[in-house]
């Protein structure tokens, strides 16, 4: 695997982020590493994906839309109205173009960190979950339980996080991505299968 200069990448990233976002980013990076240790996947990949997952988050919305147009990145109606949703797709672009990341697994983990999807890879689940549980987070319900669960069962964690995220979005009237609904249906099925097996 390619050698990454983390200090250099962090210094660069820091220039494109506000302080809170950078603190969150460091939290996601180290939480991803811890989960990679727990589940025996490549820690460097988790570290790079965690570090770069929000690399496009602080870009002005107008610039997000401009780059999508220039790079032929498809923009849905929902994304047009809420350009912050584009930061996952654009994060892939930034990781590739500005940080030289070519690893498909890393890029996919950045791509799906916001919506999730059915049949996620281990790395995708780890980044998605780390984003939700990293130590600076404090608003989500059930955080202590989800933090513990993350180190016990990734699929069950996905189920709980997607469930809570969807109900939060429904209550707040936020727009819901179809991919998130599909992801929830997928992990709910796994949850129910386990329930019936355990009687
Ligand atoms: Fe994000
Ligand atoms: Fe994030």
Encode burial over 43-55: b for 16+ CB neighbours within 10 A, e otherwise: ebbbbbbbbbbbb
199 Cα: distance to centroid of ligand 1 (angstroms): 37
What's the pLDDT score for residue 172?
A: 87
25 Cα: distance to centroid of ligand 2 (angstroms): 6
Tens of pLDDT, residue by residue over 12-58, are 999 999 999 999 999 999 999 999 999 999 999 999 999 999 999 99
Q: Which residues of the chain have pLDDT under 70?
A: none
Residues recorded for the chain: 199
What's the pLDDT score for residue 2?
A: 86
16 Cα: distance to centroid of ligand 1 (angstroms): 14
Nearest ligand, measured from the Cα of 57: 1
Query: Residue 188: CB partners within 8 Å, gap ≥ 6?
Result: 159, 162, 163
Query: Residue 141: CB partners within 8 Å, gap ≥ 6?
Result: 164
What's the pLDDT score for residue 45?
A: 98
Nearest ligand, measured from the Cα of 20: 2
38 Cα: distance to centroid of ligand 1 (angstroms): 23
What's the pLDDT score for residue 67?
A: 96
What's the pLDDT score for residue 198?
A: 85
Nearest ligand, measured from the Cα of 127: 2
What's the pLDDT score for residue 7?
A: 97
What's the pLDDT score for residue 173?
A: 82
What's the pLDDT score for residue 175?
A: 80
């Amino acid at each position: 695997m390619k050698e990454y200069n983390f200090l250099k990448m962090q210094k660069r990233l820091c220039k494109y982020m506000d302080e809170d976002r950078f603190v969150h980013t460091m939290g996601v990076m180290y939480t991803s590493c811890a989960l990679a240790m727990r589940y025996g996947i490549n820690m460097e990949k988790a570290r790079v994906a965690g570090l770069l997952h929000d690399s496009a988050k602080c870009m002005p919305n107008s610039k997000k839309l401009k780059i999508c147009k220039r790079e032929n990145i498809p923009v849905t109606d929902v994304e047009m109205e809420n350009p912050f949703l584009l930061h996952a797709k654009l994060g892939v672009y930034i990781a590739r173009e500005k940080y030289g990341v070519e690893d498909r697994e890393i890029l996919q983990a950045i791509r799906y960190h916001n919506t999730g999807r059915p049949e996620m890879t281990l790395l995708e689940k780890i980044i998605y979950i780390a984003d939700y549980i990293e130590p600076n987070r404090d608003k989500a319900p059930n955080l202590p339980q989800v933090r513990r669960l993350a180190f016990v069962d990734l699929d069950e964690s996905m189920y709980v996080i997607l469930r809570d995220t969807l109900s939060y979005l429904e209550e707040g009237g936020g727009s819901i991505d179809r991919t998130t609904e599909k992801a929830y249906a997928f992990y709910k099925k796994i949850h129910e299968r386990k329930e019936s097996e355990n009687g």
